[in-house]
């Protein structure tokens, strides 16, 4: 489940404009009224590229790409508008063999996300629009959709969705816990840890695998009064939080960009001159991880696949990939 979006991308405006829109490197924020101009400005001033995106949808399509066959191993739920971008998302999902089932509504247009790139940093401004309109009773609860949930073995939801439909997340999370299936979640952004921490902590007892980067982990630790800035200690404390399904120990995976991933695994090094766009690297990391997790591979193999996928994605524009992976 995810905010579905079609991501315009361009080089970032000058510093004065950066200040104007309150953008920070490697940050993710929700669009406010003042950001409406940003979207218009990007299209006017820069050669904008469009990619079918959305954090969870990116991860699912990367997982499918890593697995290759059979097709449609990943099912995706999200919300779109009845518009051009919505049609593009449906078409793009079909092209990469993802089994997408969208709740289509006409109150809001399909969500968009401006990805502003400077060097090897990116700053994201998400206009959720239709993604904010997902309704449990109108989509998740429908018999044909819930059957797809019951069929799945592994579930992944980005923390972004905590701002949209907590009841949908809890229904899926409780189903996973009660049936000893794997429920995975991403901290997604510092603001989720800060301003949606009550929702996050309602879901946390059901989380078997928790993803995040070092910035999100620091924000999470601060909000949870962990009283430490040491990433390894934050991982240990997050693992020790109360858990509903005692048959599985929680796994916490924190990435640190080009530095090692905590539970310590070396990262595939990339020459900075080959880095095109770091947007989507975290989504790709999760997708690579899930592609091995769903095949019941050990943790070190999951992380190896995650690093491989992220390394491929940062050398290409958007969350895009070559025809086939070269992963062993």
Core vs surface per residue 106-125: b (16+ CB within 10 A) or e: eebbbbbbbbbbeebbbbbb
Q: Which of 83, 106, 283, 326 is catalytic?
A: 283
Displacement of CA 22 from its chain's centroid (Å): 22
Residue 22 CB coordination number (10 Å): 13
**Catalytic residue flag (residue 120):** no
> Contact, 187 vs 282, CB < 8 A?
no
β-strands 259-262, 251-256 pairing: antiparallel
Task: Give the orientation angle of helix 281-293 with respect to helix 55-67, to 10 degrees.
Answer: 50
Which of the 8 DSSP states describes residue 22?
T
Residue 164, classed as helix, strand or coil, is coil
Which residue has tokens 């779109």?
80
Active-site residue list: 283
């Amino acid at each position: 489940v995810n905010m579905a979006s079609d991501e315009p991308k361009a080089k970032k405006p000058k510093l004065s404009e950066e200040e104007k829109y309150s953008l920070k490197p490697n940050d993710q924020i929700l669009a406010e009224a003042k950001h409406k101009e940003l979207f218009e400005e990007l299209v006017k001033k820069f050669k904008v590229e469009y990619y079918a995106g959305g954090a969870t949808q990116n991860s699912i399509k990367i997982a499918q790409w890593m697995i290759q066959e059979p097709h449609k191993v990943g099912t995706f739920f999200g919300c779109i508008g009845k518009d051009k971008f919505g049609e593009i998302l449906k078409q793009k999902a079909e092209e990469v063999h993802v089994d997408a089932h969208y709740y289509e509504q006409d109150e809001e247009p399909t969500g968009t996300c401006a990805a502003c790139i400077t060097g090897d940093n990116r700053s994201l401004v998400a206009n959720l629009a239709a993604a904010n309109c997902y309704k449990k009773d109108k989509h998740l609860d429908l018999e044909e959709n819930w059957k797809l949930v019951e069929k799945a073995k592994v579930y992944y939801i980005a923390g972004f969705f905590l701002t949209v439909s907590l009841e949908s997340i809890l229904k899926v999370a409780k189903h996973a816990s009660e049936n000893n299936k794997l429920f995975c979640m991403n901290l997604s952004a510092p603001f989720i840890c800060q301003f949606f921490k009550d929702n996050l902590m309602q879901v946390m007892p059901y989380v078997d695998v928790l993803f995040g980067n070092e910035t999100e982990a620091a924000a999470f630790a601060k909000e949870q009064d962990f009283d430490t800035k040491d990433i390894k200690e934050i991982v240990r404390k997050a693992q020790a939080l109360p858990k509903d399904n005692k048959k599985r120990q929680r796994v916490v995976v924190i990435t640190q960009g080009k530095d090692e991933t905590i539970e310590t695994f070396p990262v595939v090094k990339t020459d900075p001159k080959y880095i095109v766009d770091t947007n989507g690297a975290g989504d790709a990391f999760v997708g690579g991880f899930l592609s091995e997790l769903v095949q019941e591979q050990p943790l070190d193999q999951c992380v190896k696949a995650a690093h491989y996928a992220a390394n491929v994605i940062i050398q290409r524009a958007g969350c895009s990939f070559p025809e086939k992976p070269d992963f062993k």
